Structure 1
Amino acid sequence: MRSFKASYKFSPLKAGSLFLGAVLALGAISLDAKSAESARGAPAIASASSVTHYRTKEVDGVKIFYRETGPKDAPVLLLLHGFPTSSHMFRNLMPALADRYHVIAPDYPGYGQSESPDRAKFNYTFDRYSELVDGLLDQLGVAKYAMYVMDYGAPVGWRLALKHPERISGLIVQNGNAYNEGLKEFWDPIKAYWSDHSEAHRKALYSLVSPETTIFQYTDGVSDTSRISPDNWIHDQALLDRPGNAEIQMDLFYDYRTNVPLYPAVQAYFRKYQPPTLIVWGKNDKIFPADGAYPYKRDLPEVEFHLIDTGHFVLEDKADEVVPLIRDFLKRKVGTETKRKVAVQ
């Protein structure tokens, strides 16, 4: 067999044709990328603004870790994570929004990379979490922001909205409860613990921090589990299994009872301020079922309402469906211009 070098003879005509073909191919790729961007409402090519930074600030004596991306002078989107995860749940969403928004995603104490203070010296409550997130935003100079709230992120976010209603530019609600209708059978053992704060009812909840339950939260209600990375539950379970963390989670299960009496005030906030709101709710979720999504329509008649055919963690398998909805909503309701009025592509 002759070598490639021996068999190939240079032809200017052939070389020119190859060059022209390459140019046309690159042009087609560019057009396809632009078409894809238009179809998805997402940037086709990542820019420097999509780089995520991993930072820590001390807030009221507690080290709070947060992820941050996007232009500092762009409209702010605050991402508030749920149980049993952390800002890790937003790792894919953040780059998809970074071209137009300043995105901030903190970890609460006891979650992710934030500090886990001794329970004897720190109250693991939703009141305390909201105070620390509020303090972080103050340190970052954030005076107005939209919020993405999910699971535990909802009661943290609702407290921020009640304290600073003028600061909230919009809401994205993903399986985050604000109505009694949303607390169904899954919550019965937790409600039993609320009723008497007994050791027996507390011990019954340890199964909620087991590997089986963590996997369940990611896979239940998902039609194609091959779209769910197992890295999720390995990551979350490793953090749940840290010494003392299970007790932190039990404290928070008990404190969740304080959110229910807050619901009427949250609903009154909705009715009074009518914040632009997007619902992107996993309709097959057993933890926060769709029963808790529909009541938002009572208080927010202009709500943009989408039930997504998946479970608890919508972003893990339906980001291709949800991200365009989020980008379109933010563009129309929150805006895209930076403080310097720089044009956004």
Structure 2
Amino acid sequence: MLVVGATASKSGNQGPATALSTSVEINHPTLHKTVQVDGLDIFYREAGPKDAPVILLLHGFPTSSHMFRNLIPQLSDRFHVVAPDYPGFGNSSMPPVDEFTYTFDNLAKFIDKFTKKVGLDSYSLYMMDYGAPVGFRLAVSHPERIESLIIQNGNAYEEGLRDFWKPFRTYWKDRTPENAKALEGFLNLSATKWQYTHGVRHPEVISPENWLVDQYLLDRPGNSDIQLQLFYSYGSNPPLYPQWQAYLREYQPPTLIVWGKNDQIFPAEGAYPYKRDLNNLEFHLLDTGHFALEEDGDLIANYIGRFLDKRVAVKQ
């Protein structure tokens, strides 16, 4: 147990000293660790009891496990929480595109190997944005490992790919330099900030460190090439939607949906279809945007805790 304390005192000639003291108990501080997977350094954040139910947090674009920095301590009192950075993201290795295959198939394979390397035999999956195509590949490959799903603005239905995706569809059909250039605007600072601030109730609540940290990492030499590779690879996901939906229908994993309904990237139209395929579903649309944790993190943490307490047995 780590105890952080502060004491201030003030004494005078007319009476005894007075003291103010505060202490905060941190039972399970977040650890920042790195493990090697096939020669690459995979960075991850980890907290919570090792014998507790596991939550594997899968981040979106253009961020990293940094997006979970506030959620992790809210869950680590009774869950074992693990949040890796994909290759090319955050603090993980960033090999150039001519040395690494940046596809969602390969990202999923790396995260699968990562889970085995750190000893995660079964887990609940938190899937956001890019985390959905990574996570659904894991679920389809290893349904026996999935205890439950937590889906936050993570798409698995054609209904969820609206107007925002038109230039991406063009690129998927015709991978030309001109069509790639049309997507470069999604990699600049204004676009990154927009992802965090569009659709939120109170923009002043959103810390600028979010888009500044993400943009710093996007601006690393060679990273734009990585992101364009993944923009193209995202086109491999819609053809797999029927397979992912079949997994949901067959295995019926307990599922919590917490979805920022004002998201233009993955709008609420992508959330409703989950109701078709899932019987054991808890469904919440939140009045916020794409990165719902930034504005409604406390609410989402409460939903997750209550959901998992009811559906995932606590390991003794």
Return the TM-score normalized by structure 2.
0.93
Matches within 5 A, 1:1-345: 5=12, 7-8=14-15, 46-49=25-28, 51-337=29-315, 341=316
**After TM superposition, what 4+ stretches of structure 1 lie above 6 angstroms from structure 2?**
none
The DSSP-based 3-state class of the residue aligned with 2:257 is strand
CA contact (8 A) 1:211 1:237 kept: yes
* Contact 1:175 1:312 (8 Å CA) reproduced: yes
Q: Which amino acid aligns with 1:48?
A: N
- 1:64 Cα deviation (Å)? 0.9
Report the AA paired with residue 179 of structure 2: H
Match of 2:88, SS? coil
CA, structure 1 residues 243+336, in 2 after alignment: closer, same or farther (shift >3 Å)? same
Q: Please give the alpha-carbon distance, in whole angstroms, between the structure 2 residues aligned to 1:274 and 1:46.
A: 38
CA shift for structure 1 position 336? 2.8
Distance (Å, rounded) in 1 between the aligned partners of 2:88 and 2:296: 28
User: Take 1:256 and 1:167, find their aligned partners in 2: how far apart are those partners?
Assistant: 25
CA contact (8 A) 1:47 1:99 kept: no
Q: What is the alpha-carbon distance in structure 1 between the residues aligned to residue 142 and residue 226 of structure 2?
A: 28
After TM superposition, give the deviation of residue 47 of structure 1 in Å. Answer: 3.2
Instruction: Look up the SS of the partner of 1:253 in the other structure.
Output: helix
Q: Deviations over 1:257-303 (max 9, x none)?
A: 10111100000000000000000000000000000000000000321
Aligned equivalents of 1:174, 1:334: Cα separation in 2: 19
1:316-340 CA deviation, whole Å, 9 max, x = no partner?
0111221111110011111333xxx
For structure 1, the 5+ residue unaligned runs are 30-44
- The question of whether the paired residues in 2 share the 8 Å contact of 1:149 and 1:173 is answered with yes
Where does residue 42 of structure 1 map in the other structure? none
Evaluate the alpha carbon distance shift between residue 265 and residue 6 of structure 1 in structure 2; reply closer, same or farther with a 3 A threshold: closer
Alignment partners' CA distance in 2, 1:189 and 1:130:
25
State the alpha-carbon separation in 1 of the partners of residues 13 and 25 from structure 2.
42
Indicate if the aligned counterparts of 1:176 and 1:288 stay in contact, CA closer than 8 A. yes
The offset of 1:315, in angstroms, is 0.5
Letter in 1 for 2:285: L
Distance (Å, rounded) in 1 between the aligned partners of 2:143 and 2:281: 17
Q: Give the gaps of 5 or more residues in structure 2.
A: 1-10
The structure with more helix, counted as a fraction of residues = 1
Counterpart-to-counterpart distance in 1, 2:89 and 2:212: 14
Q: CA deviation at 1:245?
A: 0.4
Q: Partners of 2:31 and 2:218 in 1: how far apart?
A: 24
Cα displacement string for residues 170-218 of structure 1 (whole angstroms, at most 9, x for unaligned residues): 0000000000000000000000100111110000000000101000000
The structure-2 alpha-carbon separation of the partners of 1:46 and 1:187, relative to structure 1 and needing over 3 Å to count, comes to farther
Distance (whole Å) between structure 1 residues aligned to residue 47 and residue 195 of structure 2: 27
> Residues 253 and 280 of structure 2 are in contact (CA less than 8 Å); yes or no, is this contact kept in structure 1?
no
